[in-house]
Structure 1
Amino acid sequence: MLVLAACSGGSDGSGGGSSDDATTGADGTVTLDYWAWGTTQKPLVDAWNAANPDVQVRHTDVGGGGDTASKLVTATRAGNAPDVALVEYQTLPAMIVAGVATDISEYTGEISSDFADGIWNQATFDGVSYGVPQDAGPQALTYNATRLAELGVEVPTTWEEFAEAAEQVKAADPTTYITTFAPGEFGGFAGFAQQAGAQWWSIDGDTWTVDFDGEESRAVAEYWQDLIDRDLVLAEPLLTPEWNAALNEGRILSWPAGMWAAGVLYGVAEGMAGEWAMAPLPQWTSGDAAVGFQGGSAAIVTTSSDDAEAAARFAAWIGSSEEGARIQIEQGQYPASLSGQELTLESDPPLLMPQQTDYWAVAADIAADTIPQITWGPNVNVADSAFQDAMSAAINDGTPLVDALVETERVVLDDMRTSGFTVSND
């Protein structure tokens, strides 16, 4: 990842003195600006401010992960980015390349041992720390336990069993599907492919290799293609009014996704609380429990900040303090820190599955099996958009999903070449 560090610039934490940088009042109080989305952030900021009168934080929600990332680039170029920002793991490399994220290694050394390697590495490149992980989203299977039991279908533990369960569901109730294949779920498909051994980006020195249509990714696409062709999964976008209605009617029975899925489902199907449960994601190879991430974020300090030390202290508190972890758990986030994950074992299950008393124990086992090293490329935003366009076209036109992977790789490579990156695919 040396090319990322070389391209980042501004790693001394000095800023341009803009209105969004850290400011110091007449009484010596430092005020930091923090951009982050989601319901967890305000309680975190309120708790920090109550305990740290000398360093106060102003929180602004500028939109979700994609919106925040694009606005950070624009604000950094204008010299008025916030001091701290929440960034999704997969977009952090682009933030480094764009000169948004700064090196905070000197402030994070003492807390690195509180994170599993697979999670800490999501915010560390070539030994340089660019952020403190806040939450983790390893993939799991959230499923309608009540309906599967009614239909006499066992919870699958492998993807082969999952396909068999899909057949059983459809045979028992032709109006019901075991799950949805959503063409816009770049992160979801990426997780499935990573679980199968795919690496969409890799780097050797300053040379990138891009491999969206490699053997492993093709196998995943062909697996889902088979289920779509046999009408065993519902191929359409998630969380539309129609999808929500089908879910509430018990006609969509699972969601293989990040562990945040329980909170999302509760938001659209509160009346189904007690019917759902969570299990490990089905395995491509029986006995291989490794899973990828679908979501998760880190708090970064920006190159615009005038007080990188105070900003890093706040970022570290969010991700590694007991109080921060308890707030995350209360709000339904799965903490990235090992100590935070241990605290979940003392907590009630999510509202969607209050009956699953072993929920957090299962979650801990899943988190321990996350793939230790995933490399995200410098243009994830381009890949995400290209993937969504190509997959949606494949579903609408009835063309192979594998062709969508080929098209995604073409767009990603063209963009990287135009941006000046060296790629081995040439």
Structure 2
Amino acid sequence: MMRRTIPLVATVSALALTLAACSSGAASGGSDAADDGPITLDYWAWGTAQEPMVDAWNAAHPDIQVKRTDAGGGTDSSAKLVTATRGGNAPDVAIVEYNTLPAMIVAGVAADISGNVDGLDAEFAPGVWSQVTFDGATYGVPQDAGPQALTYNKAKFDELGIDVPTTWDEFADAAEKVHEADPDSYITTFAPAEFGGFAGLAQQAGAEWWSVDGDAWTVDFDDDASVAVADYWQDLIDRDLVLAEPLLTPEWNAKVNKGEVLSWPAGLWAAGVLYGVAEESAGDWAMAPMPQWTEGDPAVAFQGGSAVVVTTSTEHAEAAAEFARWMGTADEASAAQIEQGQYPASLAGQELTLESDAPLLTPEQDDYWQVAAEITKDTIPEISWGPNVNVASSAFQDAMSAAVTNGTPLRDALTETEAEVVDDMTTTGFEVTQK
């Protein structure tokens, strides 16, 4: 039985939080239900689970109706939230990934909802709740967690006689066997824009890109662990054993559907995404623990995971906070997440998985959620995220994409990313050192 979840801890300095307190509002107490009709909340959220979750909310709450907009995932959505907040047209509520929440606080996007979530911390493991609390204030309600795992096309693995790799060395050997058996097929994709995915793999290897001591930050993107991970993928790219291209393009989706991309090392949410682009292959797939950098060390990082935040722009803070609470804790919300392959952040939702069918992509894997629970218990504790993850993500995407296009070393892209991150933090007023 799943007992606890240890997620990444996003850390911001006192300076960052002071700036946020000056620029962001707080959700107020009391009810803001309209007297002349239902309230309509605008909600920005991506992912296949969101539509059934919102539908369930709307059916049960006729006085507070929610209109969902898919504004893009991850950093795309966060960047748009900052722009919309500055332009005065932000939504009432939004999904924000844990690693970008510090930046959303500093930018004045996420409101302090402490007064609306009293006692809610008991619904979550302490580490999960710590992802949304900073300097004693709460800025969101956790919705899902994304420990990294290997989602793979079991039917193709079986057809090719390939065992599920348990180490990254075995993964490289399997990549060679796949491509030898079918030159059009690859074991996976190295996607240069996947900042969160690479970060998770680097953290699994021991990297820590940001650390803070008081108000003094250390930034180290090209540490030995990160460089080793970059060199690993460089070797596979150079030998044409993995695809080096973006994910979720029409071309990539077609390859997944044809069985030419056989796995995706990513957060547990990958099953839902793959089902959305390759529904006809449902039943062919399974999920296993992530390969290990060091044999016998099962530690993995979280990739993604998100919270529902109330924005400082809303005129319906009470209703927005009520919606956020429901999305993070209601059984109906958790059930919709589970069906789509998301792993709920709440303790009750995680327990509910053990009574649930496997995700739609992997209907024949009876132990899916048991495996997920074991993976979650092995996640890495207290990885720090800096206050400018959005800048880091953009710099990483640009540098890695250029490296893949130009054939230059991936390790150099890490150095370029670090330089941009340090420059941005220094310009903003943070005390920064580099190792």
TM over 0.5: yes
Q: Does 1:189 align with 2:198?
A: yes
Question: Is 1:257 aligned to residue 266 of structure 2?
Answer: yes
Q: Does 1:228 align with 2:237?
A: yes
| 1:3 corresponds to | 15
Give the aligned partner of residue 325 of structure 2.
316
Taking only the aligned residue pairs, the percentage that are identical comes to 68
Matches within 5 A, 1:158-197: 158-197=167-206
CA shift in 2, pair 1:415/1:50, >3 Å: same
Whichever residue aligns with residue 211 of structure 1, its letter is D
CA contact (8 A) 1:13 1:307 kept: no
Distance 1:177 1:305 in 2: 46
Give the SS at the match of 1:293.
coil
Name 2:125's counterpart in structure 1: 116
Higher RCO (CA < 8 A, seq sep 6+): 2
Matches within 5 A, 1:76-115: 76-115=85-124
Distance 1:315 1:185 in 2: 27
> In the alignment, is the contact (CA less than 8 A) between 1:221 and 1:401 conserved in 2?
yes
CA displacement at 1:39 relative to structure 2: 4.1
Q: Secondary structure at the match of 2:151?
A: strand
CA distance in 2, matches of 1:202, 1:259: 26
Please say if residues 13 and 306 of structure 1, whose CA atoms lie closer than 8 Å, have aligned partners that are also in contact: no
Unaligned runs of 5+ in 2: 1-11
Mark the runs of 5 or more structure 1 residues left unpaired by the alignment.
Answer: 16-21
Residue 282 of structure 1 corresponds to 291
Pick from 41, 55, 67 the counterpart of residue 59 of structure 1: 67
Q: In structure 1, how many angstroms separate the alpha carbons of the residues matched to 2:221 and 2:162? A: 34
User: Against the structure 1 CA distance between its residues 266 and 29, is the aligned structure 2 distance closer, same or farther, given a 3 Å change threshold?
Assistant: closer
Residues 1:29 and 1:274: Cα distance change in structure 2 (over 3 Å): closer
SS of equivalent residue, structure 1 residue 284: coil
Q: Label 1:405 to 1:347 Cα distance change in 2 as closer, same or farther (>3 A).
A: same
Q: 2:5 aligns to what?
A: none
Find the residue that maps to 2:211 and give its secondary structure.
Answer: strand
Q: Does 1:386 align with 2:399?
A: no
Q: CA offset at residue 328 of structure 1?
A: 2.1
Query: Paired residue for 2:26?
Result: 13
Distance of 2:157 and 2:183 partners within structure 1: 14
Distance 1:329 1:171 in 2: 37
d(CA) in 2 for partners of 1:173, 1:393: 28
**CA apart distance, 1:281:** 0.6
**Compared with structure 1, are the counterparts of its residues 117 and 401 closer, same or farther at alpha carbon in structure 2 (3 Å cutoff)?**
farther
Question: Are residues 223 and 117 of structure 1, via their aligned partners in 2, closer, same or farther at CA, if it must alter by over 3 Å?
Answer: farther
From 28, 32, 35, give the equivalent of 1:26. Answer: 35
| Contact 1:195/1:284, CA 8 A, preserved across alignment | yes
Q: 1:19 aligns to what?
A: none
Q: Bigger shift: 81-90 or 383-392?
A: 81-90
Mapping of residues 298-377 of structure 1, within 5 Å: 298-306=307-315, 308-377=317-386
For residues 253 and 112 of structure 1, do their structure 2 counterparts lie closer, same or farther at Cα, with a shift above 3 Å needed? same
Q: TM-score, normalising length from structure 2?
A: 0.88
- Report the counterpart of residue 414 of structure 1 in structure 2: 423
Q: TM-score if structure 1 supplies the norm length?
A: 0.90
Q: 1:301 to 1:268 in 2, by over 3 A?
A: closer
Asked if the contact 1:156/1:162 (under 8 Å) is kept, the reply is: yes
Q: Distance in 1 between matches of 2:37 and 2:251?
A: 54
The Cα shift of 1:79 comes to 4.7
Q: Is the contact made by 2:153 and 2:284 (CA closer than 8 Å) also made in structure 1?
A: yes
Alpha-carbon distance in structure 2 between the residues aligned to 1:234 and 1:75? 35
Equivalence for 1:18:
none
Residues 158, 284 of structure 1: 8 Å contact kept: yes
For 1:261, the aligned partner's letter is: A
Measure, in 1, the Cα distance between the counterparts of 2:191 and 2:48: 25
The CA deviation at 1:206 is 1.9
Q: How many residues are paired up?
A: 419
Q: For the residues of structure 2 that align with 1:53 and 1:249, how far apart are their CA atoms?
A: 44
Task: Indicate conservation of the 8 Å contact 1:14/1:306, yes or no.
Answer: no
Q: Quick check: 1:401 aligned with 2:417?
A: no
Q: Measured at CA, do residues 52 and 265 of structure 1 come closer, stay the same or move farther in structure 2, by a change above 3 Å?
A: closer
